[in-house]
Amino acid sequence: MSSFSLATSPPRSNLHRLLMVRGLFLLVVCATLAFCYWQLALPLAYHAMLWVISGLTLINIATLVQLRFFPKVSEYAFFTQLLIDIIGVSLLLFFGGGADNPFVSYYLVPLCIAAATLSWRLTWPLLIASLLLYTSLFFYRIPLPDIAPSHHHGGQAINDALSFHTVGMWFNFLLSALLITFFVIKMAASLRQRDADLAQLREDRLRDEQLLAVASLAAGTAHELGTPLTTIKALLKEMESDYREVPALSEDLQLLQNQVSHCADSLKRLTGRAAQLKDGILPLETAFDFCQQVIDEWLLLRPEVEAKITLEETTQQCRSHFHPTLSQSLSNLLNNAADANPKGIVVHAHCSSENLVFSIRDHGPGIEPDRLKDLGQAFVSNKGQGRGLGLFLTRAALDRHGGKLDMQNHPQGGVQTTLHLPLNSPKETS
């Protein structure tokens, strides 16, 4: 379900609507001038006013042509168009009796549009410009006695530039403009925030659906891997005993045996963690133990890695109920660093202000700047053969637990990855 809202429309659509409003206004002015000339025979400066109308029409046409070839519209361009409207209205009023003209209330139209579409920093200048131009029309104008308000005092008609009626209209404009500017800006900001929240909600729902699909596939895959792993483990054990006398091959078989055992243990831990999640019982552990366990498993799985690991003493004082998905998130980040370059990885962890800060620096080729903003979405990867699920699942897990992930290219090469994870339990001294 969609609804029309100037506050949340893109600037290009708003400018199209503004040009339409300006065109309708010019048509009404032309019709009014024709009526005044043919029916009322008012002595207006018709030629000058037609020049103003022609100028605004040319600006309308030029802007439409510009939008066709340059569709991108900035806030300042929209601000300029509204300022042109205010100046154009002021010129028409100058030739049509000044502040006495009943069309003077049209000043409120561009102000309403500005308050609904622009920030307050650009709306207030338009309000000030409108107020100054309106005030100047009391003193600088071509008078039109036929439309000037008058009142009688002592039997004599008085028609002054500063009559009670025109001054009252000025104060009414000031009050209306202030109220419109203040409250419409607030309402427009609320609409923008509401739409941003709805967009975030839709994004979260889409992400959850993707996670559910990935989780279902992962559960089925984990179930199917049990039997092949058991078979591979048995065959490797037989081959290890058969080729015990070949040292080089025996070492490779031992390495394969360790890797398969690690995969089998990972499946067992996956089942155990699923049971924990089902019961809602998570152990309370220090950040040091949590990080150390993840790093040990990572080093066992990636024996080719050379890393400098520093776990500060503060991590031994921070305790929390770490969700199993968080350990997998750290593993994904560590594996990404190892895939970029297994040599020279720097891992650092410390606790600061109720947060666990975990940073990883690799010396790989880095990330292309145009890909940085897309990393973390499903099936978007910086690797040649990557599937993009690791970082997607990592970001999803961190978002659920209030964590933040920052990935930037390091000035000296490689990628600097920093994870901020809130600790949901107070610090305790172990």
What average pLDDT does the segment 131-144 reach? 88
Residue range 20-56, pLDDT digits in tens = 989 999 999 999 899 988 988 888 889 999 999 999 9
Predicted confidence band at 204 (pLDDT cuts at 50, 70, 90)?
low
Q: What is the pLDDT of residue 332?
A: 85
Residue range 288-347, pLDDT digits in tens = 998 998 898 888 878 888 989 999 988 888 888 887 778 878 888 898 888 888 898 999
> What are the residue ranges spanned by the domains of the chain?
6-204, 282-422
Q: What percentage of the chain exceeds 70 in pLDDT?
A: 75
At 377, list the tokens. Answer: 């979405």
Residue range 165-203, pLDDT digits in tens = 677 777 777 777 777 777 776 766 666 677 677 776 777
pLDDT of 96 above 60: yes
Q: What is the pLDDT of residue 386?
A: 43
Q: What is the pLDDT of residue 375?
A: 64
pLDDT of 11 above 90: no
Neighbours of 341 (CB within 10 A): 17
Q: What is the pLDDT of residue 218?
A: 61
pLDDT of 2 above 50: no
Q: What is the pLDDT of residue 242?
A: 76
- What's phi and psi for 297, nearest 5 deg? -65, -40
Of the candidate CATH numbers 1.10.8.50, 3.30.565.10, 3.40.50.150, 3.40.1190.20, the domain formed by 282-422 belongs to 3.30.565.10
pLDDT of 355 above 70: yes
What average pLDDT does the segment 222-231 reach? 70
What average pLDDT does the segment 93-115 reach? 86
Q: What is the pLDDT of residue 211?
A: 56
- What's phi and psi for 286, nearest 5 deg? -75, 155
Between 392 and 405, where is the model more confident?
405
Write out the DSSP string of 213-265: HHHHHHHHHHHHHHHHHHHHHHHHHHHHHHTTT-HHHHHHHHHHHHHHHHHHH
What average pLDDT does the segment 226-243 reach? 77
- Among 67, 90, 69, CA closest to 18: 67
Q: Tell me the pTM.
A: 0.52
Q: What is the pLDDT of residue 405?
A: 86
